[in-house]
Amino acid sequence: MSAEIIYKEENENLFWKHWNNFVNKKNLSIRYTEIQIKHLLTFFSNSLYKDKSFIYLEDNEPHACVFLPIEKIENDLSMSFMGGYLDAPIVSNERVQKIVLAIIDKVAIENKVSKIKFALDVLSKENYNYLLKYGYLDTSILTYVIDVSGDLLGSCRRGHKCDIKNILKDQNFKIFYMDKKNASEELFTNYVLLHHKCSGKITRPQITFNMQLEKIKMGNAFLVALKYLEKNIAFVYFEHCNDKAIYASAADDPDYDRLPLYHVLIFKAMEYLKEKGVTLVDTGQPSCPSSQFDYYIDKKQENIALFKRGFGGSFKENFRGIKYFSEEAFKDDANKFIENYSKKFYEEI
């Protein structure tokens, strides 16, 4: 048996050839598609130090795909995504998993990174946190996942049901979908402008929005718009692949924030996904109801998590792990946890 590693930085064309060959044979979420990886890289801007993503091959067949950027935040190097978690490697079997995690450690040591942060896809079939076998500290949290194959309205919280029904019967409101069949740059620009307006500033580069529009045109994403008196006042944006979807983004006009805008938008998005054959939807973070190690939420985020739980779904553990290569980095994170936990504790008593 011959083994080979192909790094993206050395042969990008061959890297993507093998990546797509491996990924397309598996029933994965959009997190592991080429378009998604390229989208994530647009967020790094000037913080990307190196991209050590690689394919592991045996007898010229791909057996593992690893997205492995190294980012520099101030003077610290870490394998992470904007300080957060990278999607964990996908591998063909447990034997390859052990080999690949050892390769990642070697790359980390060679590049003097302080830590590696991986999260397992909550939409995968993993039933335990395999990262713990390789020296990772468990930092798992809860994620709220919705099964859209059942009664969507009937499974909602009572208040959500009322808000959804009231908007649907009000003739002043209209729901509009935008997907690859009717992709409109004008409508998408409206979503971008509302995103800036509700945030109160431009929070990310235009190229990241361009990638979202590209996903819509490819058929891997869609927008749901809520019109009030013919004016677009709110949007939700979902990404999907195979039978899995992710609630990825939302934007609204703060002039209308007294209205229950997102209840009906998410409900109609679920209906759309159900028709597309999607079964599971990851509502994303914040959905974990409380702060944990390396996950800290404020009151607003707690309320968002509570809102998401108003739709018929259930908690699923989002397995995550950190492997430290720097005592200083570990102490910094531990002190941050102590500070945040102590603050929360004293607020409650």
| 118: CATH | 3.40.630.30
Q: How many domains does one find in the chain?
A: 2
Domain co-membership, 325 together with 307 = no
Q: Which of 185, 178, 208, 184 is nearest to 196 (CA)?
A: 208
What are the pLDDT digits (tens) for 178-225?
999 999 999 999 999 999 998 888 888 899 999 999 999 999 999 999
Domain co-membership, 159 together with 297 = yes
Q: What are phi and psi of 176, to 5 degrees?
A: -135, 135
What are the pLDDT digits (tens) for 152-180?
999 999 999 999 999 999 999 999 999 99
Q: Which two tokens stand for residue 273?
A: 């996904």
Domain co-membership, 82 together with 210 = no
Domain co-membership, 301 together with 329 = no
Split at pLDDT 50, 70, 90, the class of 78 is very high
Higher pLDDT, 203 or 28: 28
Split at pLDDT 50, 70, 90, the class of 345 is low
Is pLDDT above 90 for 120?
Answer: yes
Split at pLDDT 50, 70, 90, the class of 342 is confident
Cis peptide before 69 (omega within 30 of 0): no
Domain co-membership, 198 together with 303 = yes
What are the pLDDT digits (tens) for 277-303?
999 999 999 999 999 999 999 999 999
Split at pLDDT 50, 70, 90, the class of 56 is very high
Per-residue pLDDT, averaged over 1-9, amounts to 94
Domain co-membership, 97 together with 162 = no
Q: In this structure, are residues 287 and 317 in contact, taking their beta carbons and an 8 Å threshold?
A: no
Domain ranges, residue 67:
3-140+320-348
Is pLDDT above 80 for 333?
Answer: yes
Give the integer Cα–Cα distance in Å for 260 and 226.
11
Domain co-membership, 96 together with 174 = no
Q: Which pLDDT score is estimated for 346? A: 57
CA distances from 133 to 64, 71, 136, 229 (A): 18, 25, 7, 57
Per-residue pLDDT, averaged over 31-54, amounts to 94
The whole-model pTM stands at: 0.94
Domain co-membership, 151 together with 43 = no
Is pLDDT above 70 for 349?
Answer: no
Share of the chain above pLDDT 70, in %: 98
Is pLDDT above 80 for 227?
Answer: yes
Domain co-membership, 159 together with 248 = yes
Is pLDDT above 60 for 348?
Answer: no
Domain co-membership, 197 together with 222 = yes
Q: Which pLDDT score is estimated for 195? A: 92
Q: Which two tokens stand for residue 170?
A: 């009000």
Is pLDDT above 80 for 344?
Answer: no
Domain co-membership, 96 together with 234 = no
Mean pLDDT of the chain: 95
Domain co-membership, 55 together with 107 = yes
Q: What is the CA 132 to chain-centroid distance, rounded?
A: 22
